Amino acid sequence: MRLLFLGDIVGRSGRTAVIAELPKLRDRYKLDFVIANGENAAGGFGITESIYQEFIDAGVDVVTTGNHVWDQREALVFIERYDRLLRPVNYPEGTPGRGCGLFPAGNGQNVLVINAMGQVFMADLDSPFTACDREVGACPLKESADVIFIDFHGEATSEKQAFAHYFDGRVSCVVGTHTHTPTADDHILPNGTGYISDVGMCGNYDSVLGMEKEESIHRFLTRVPRGRFQAAAGEATLCGLAVEIDDETGLTKTLKGLRLGGLLSPSEPLFWVD
């Protein structure tokens, strides 16, 4: 299976790039499945129903989120209508929406996508280890799911790494999101699970985490807010992870960080290019 994950999509810049480029990427790489984190898509804060639909129309199969999932209050209502829009699985029982789902891929296989959020320097949610253990146990790899993919939305690399090692060999891939800065540690763990600490964002890197620089600089200098954070305009870099998953084992065969456009040095999965 050829799976592409796109990191946090930030504001109009990130949305425009994803909507324009994803159809071409699906064709160029012959992708079977695409996941994107959309929690910063609405001006950097949350996601709206119309933006969610734009991503689906562009070729995203599942949209994940994180700590900004409820920034647009309408999400509390419309998330119930869409099984392909996920919020972190370790929210308390009774929270609107769902944290995981089993979805068909283009090659006929089924992909269990789990959206989890860390506890270190984040909201005080239930344990992501326990919550994901429950979901993986209910839908084991190569028994009920052909592929298991986890978007781990977290601040601390230590927590992300410990989480990935805990599930090594039981899931296909664990991908870190939230920090908006791509890491260089994409690799396959000893028992076959693919991993990266953070894929980065789809947004303008002439910014502070995808937001206009001036307000961030002002707050660091004065400790006083001057205005609202605004998503940075300008050309975005698409950041993500390309994952080739073995159809027999459901584990990762190879993976490569994706960076296209904008300011960052380009990188693409040449193992998919004829």
Q: Where are the domains of the chain?
A: 2-272
pLDDT of residue 190: 98
Look up the CATH number of domain 2-272: 3.60.21.10
pTM over 0.85: yes
**Rounded to whole angstroms, how far apart are CA atoms 174 and 193?**
7
- Euclidean distance between CA atoms 105 and 149, whole angstroms: 12
Clarify whether 68 is annotated catalytic: yes
* Residue in the block written with tokens 């239930």: 126
Q: How far from 43 is each of 16, 68, 153, CA to CA, in Å?
A: 12, 11, 19
Say how far residue 97 (Cα) sits from the centre of its chain.
17
- 267's tokens: 């990188």
| Residues 70-82 pLDDT 10s | 999 999 999 999 9
Cα separation, 245 vs 33, in Å, equals 11
State residue 212 phi and psi, 5-degree precision: -55, 140
pLDDT at 273: 85
Single out the residue of 33, 32, 6 nearest to residue 19, CA to CA.
6
Active-site annotation holder among 68, 153, 178, 180: 68
3-state class of 141 per DSSP?
strand
Task: Specify the pLDDT at position 123.
Answer: 87
| DSSP labels, 210-264 | TB-HHHHHHHHHHSS--S---BPPSPPBEEEEEEEE-TTT-SEEEEEEEEESSSS
DSSP-derived 3-state class of residue 120 = coil
Q: Which residues in the chain come in under a pLDDT of 50? A: none
